[in-house]
């Protein structure tokens, strides 16, 4: 078992190159299944979820070589269409492999995906859309059995702008017969990155970033070389940490456009944000302004993946903030831990009322999901005294060397082995 030990009250200063995007890397790695020959993908983050996806590709028969932050994938010898339960159970995003495998015209068997317990994330939108493309799908004994000899383009309207469903449809229709039109599509920047990769491989995808995406199938995709975008959630996490503690941090490789509503929210909370060549700079004296009402929404709204971090930052704001979570019903699981550190937060259904306090205090706390873990690290950076954060394995699912990155900025933080502590003791 790992724990993260933080001695708080240090300001953050320095330059950090933000890791490659987790949520762009996963569907692009799945898309590599469709390409003939070797495809090279750069700026892949070294995180647990990526390791799971690479192992999944290996088990399917792909040859995978890792060279630093680059991955070389050759799917010519793809020979297995059963995705092992243990891998699927570890990561919700594993369902994205389904559309790519069906594009190869094979029978697929996959169990229901797992991941962080932040709420229901049903995959019915995925299955409904794949059926419309011509896949024969049945569910039996906890498994999904899929068959598709030849997928055909269709006009698909999503009931909700699901990122995963949008990506799965794009992957399934990239080499399908005819044209697929996805209406009410998700607009996230990561979908634009997936479009960029596929088009570099010879696909014909357009409209990513809007609510209508069009995919005209091509007979095959060629190998290519591509660089993953910066991770906007990791960037936002470091911004929240800097504003909460005070300091001056330059985030290399990040753009205002790339982080969307996060930029405007940080401005509203009183941070000094400046666009510069090759990145963004955030400066702060550590004084956080309250936000009257912040509501999580599908892109271009404020991202649910940043809600725990921003809610934590607002714990020390000069006034009352209201945060409403509309995407996942269990996304306030960090709040009970923040209360141990002196935060003043009450919840009413999916709304958190955050009364800013002048001080937070070090405590022993437990992360129960990825972003909650990042939020607790941010709180510990501001808190007086020492904090011990457990559940670090969740954090490592999405952050590449988070302790090393923060330490380089001046934080007193380290992740260490801890074999004696148990969950019940936290």
The pLDDT value given to residue 116: 46
Mean pLDDT of the chain: 93
254 and 133: one domain?
Answer: no
Could you tell me which residue, 156 or 108, shows the higher pLDDT? 156
The pLDDT value given to residue 150: 85
Could you tell me which residue, 78 or 405, shows the higher pLDDT? 405
The pLDDT value given to residue 420: 61
Question: For this structure, is 116 an active site residue?
Answer: yes
201 and 176: one domain?
Answer: yes
Choose the weakest-confidence range: 136-145, 151-160, 208-217, 265-274: 136-145
Q: How confident is the model at residue 321 (pLDDT cuts 50, 70, 90)?
A: very high
Boundary (domain end) residue, out of 183, 206, 227 = 227
Quick check: 426 pLDDT over 50?
no
The pLDDT value given to residue 114: 56
Q: How confident is the model at residue 245 (pLDDT cuts 50, 70, 90)?
A: very high
223 and 287: one domain?
Answer: no
Cα–Cα distance for residue pair 6/112, rounded to 1 Å: 37
**Residue-number span of the structural domain to which 212 is assigned:** 22-227
pLDDT, tens digit, for every residue of 59-85?
Answer: 899 999 999 999 999 999 888 777 777
- When pLDDT is averaged across residues 320-333 and rounded to a whole number, the result is 92
Boundary (domain end) residue, out of 202, 227, 252 = 227
Q: Count up the domains in the chain and report the number.
A: 2
Boundary (domain end) residue, out of 193, 208, 227 = 227
387 and 246: one domain?
Answer: yes
pLDDT, tens digit, for every residue of 175-186?
Answer: 999 999 999 999
Could you tell me which residue, 408 or 110, shows the higher pLDDT? 408
199 and 320: one domain?
Answer: no
pLDDT, tens digit, for every residue of 115-173?
Answer: 444 444 468 899 999 999 999 999 888 788 998 888 999 999 999 999 999 999 999 99
The pLDDT value given to residue 79: 84
279 and 403: one domain?
Answer: yes
158 and 299: one domain?
Answer: no
Q: Is the pTM of this model over 0.85?
A: yes
Quick check: 423 pLDDT over 80?
no
249 and 301: one domain?
Answer: yes
pLDDT, tens digit, for every residue of 347-360?
Answer: 999 999 999 999 99
384 and 397: one domain?
Answer: yes
pLDDT, tens digit, for every residue of 15-26?
Answer: 999 999 999 999
- When pLDDT is averaged across residues 303-311 and rounded to a whole number, the result is 97
Catalytic residue, chosen from 35, 116, 180, 315, is: 116
279 and 256: one domain?
Answer: yes
305 and 289: one domain?
Answer: yes
CATH number at residue 266: 3.65.10.10
205 and 65: one domain?
Answer: yes
């Amino acid at each position: 078992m790992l724990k993260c030990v933080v001695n708080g009250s240090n300001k953050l200063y320095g330059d950090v190159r933000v890791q490659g995007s987790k949520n762009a890397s996963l569907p692009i790695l799945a898309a590599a299944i469709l390409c003939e020959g070797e495809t090279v993908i750069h700026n892949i983050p070294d995180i647990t979820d990526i390791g799971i996806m690479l192992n999944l590709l290996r088990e399917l028969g792909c040859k995978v070589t890792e060279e630093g932050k680059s991955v070389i994938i050759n799917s010519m010898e793809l020979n297995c269409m059963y995705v092992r339960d243990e891998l699927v159970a570890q990561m919700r995003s594993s369902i994205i492999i389904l559309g790519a495998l069906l594009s190869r015209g094979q029978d697929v068997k996959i169990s229901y995906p797992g991941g962080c317990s932040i709420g229901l994330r049903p995959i019915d939108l995925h299955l409904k859309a794949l059926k419309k493309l011509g896949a024969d799908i049945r569910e039996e004994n906890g498994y999904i059995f899929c068959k598709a000899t030849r997928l055909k383009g269709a006009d698909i309207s999503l009931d909700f702008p699901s990122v995963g469903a949008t990506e799965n449809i794009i992957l399934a229709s990239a080499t399908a017969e005819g044209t697929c039109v996805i209406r009410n599509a998700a607009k996230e920047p990561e979908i634009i990155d997936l479009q960029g990769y596929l088009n570099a491989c010879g696909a014909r995808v357009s409209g990513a970033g809007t609510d209508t995406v069009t995919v005209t199938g091509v007979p095959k995709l060629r190998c290519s070389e591509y660089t993953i975008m910066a991770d906007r959630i990791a960037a936002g996490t470091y911004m929240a940490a800097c504003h909460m503690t005070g300091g001056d941090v330059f985030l290399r490789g990040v753009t205002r456009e790339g982080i969307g509503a996060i930029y405007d929210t940080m401005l509203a909370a009183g941070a000094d944000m400046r666009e510069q060549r090759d990145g963004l700079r955030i400066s702060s004296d550590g004084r956080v302004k309250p936000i009257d009402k912040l509501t999580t929404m599908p892109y271009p709204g404020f991202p649910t993946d940043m809600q725990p971090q921003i809610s934590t930052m607002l714990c020390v704001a000069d006034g009352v903030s209201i945060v409403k979570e509309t995407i996942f019903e269990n996304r306030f699981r960090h709040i009970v831990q923040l209360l141990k550190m002196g935060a003043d937060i009450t919840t009413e259904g999916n709304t958190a009322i955050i009364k800013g306090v002048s001080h937070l205090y070090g405590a022993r706390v437990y992360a129960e999901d990825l972003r909650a873990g990042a939020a607790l690290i941010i709180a510990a950076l501001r808190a007086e005294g020492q904090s011990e954060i457990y559940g670090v394995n969740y954090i490592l699912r999405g952050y590449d060397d988070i302790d090393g990155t923060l330490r380089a900025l001046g934080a007193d933080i380290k992740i260490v082995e801890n074999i004696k502590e148990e969950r019940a003791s936290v």
